[in-house]
Amino acid sequence: MKEPGVLRYGTRSIAADYARAAFGAVACLAPPLLVDVTAVLAWILVAVGALFVAFGLRTLLRHLTVYELSPEGIRAAGPLGASVSWKNMTAVNLAYFQTRPRRKVIVKSPGGWMELTLREDRQTIKIDSSLQGFDDVVGEAARVARERGLTLNPVTLANLEAMGFVHAPVEGEEILS
In the chain, the number of structural domains is 2
In this structure, the answer to whether residues 132 and 60 fall within a common structural domain is no
Instruction: Please indicate, yes or no, whether residues 115 and 142 belong to a single structural domain of this protein.
Output: yes
pLDDT of residue 118: 96
**For position 122, which CATH number holds?**
2.30.29
pTM tops 0.85? no
- Residue 61, classed as helix, strand or coil, is helix
Position 74 in a domain: yes
In a domain, 94, yes or no: yes
Tens-place pLDDT, residues 35-88: 998 999 999 999 999 999 999 999 999 999 999 999 999 999 999 889 999 999
**Cβ atoms of residues 131 and 7 within 8 Å:** yes
Q: Which domain holds residue 46?
A: 8-64
Q: Do 77 and 141 fall into the same domain?
A: yes
Residues 46 and 85 in one domain: no
**Predicted local distance difference test score (pLDDT) of residue 176:** 42
Which of 64, 90, 107 is the last residue in one of the domains? 64
In a domain, 80, yes or no: yes
The Cα 175–Cα 177 span in angstroms is: 6
Is position 147 within any domain?
A: yes
Within-domain flag for 104: yes
116 and 88 co-located in one domain: yes
- The whole-number average pLDDT for the span 106-112 is 59
Q: Establish if 158 belongs to a structural domain.
A: yes
Q: Exposed, middle or buried by CB within 10 Å (0-12, 13-18, 19+), for 95?
A: middle
pLDDT band at 174 (very low <50, low <70, confident <90, very high): very low
Contacts 24+ apart (CB under 8 A), 166-174: 167/142, 170/146, 173/149
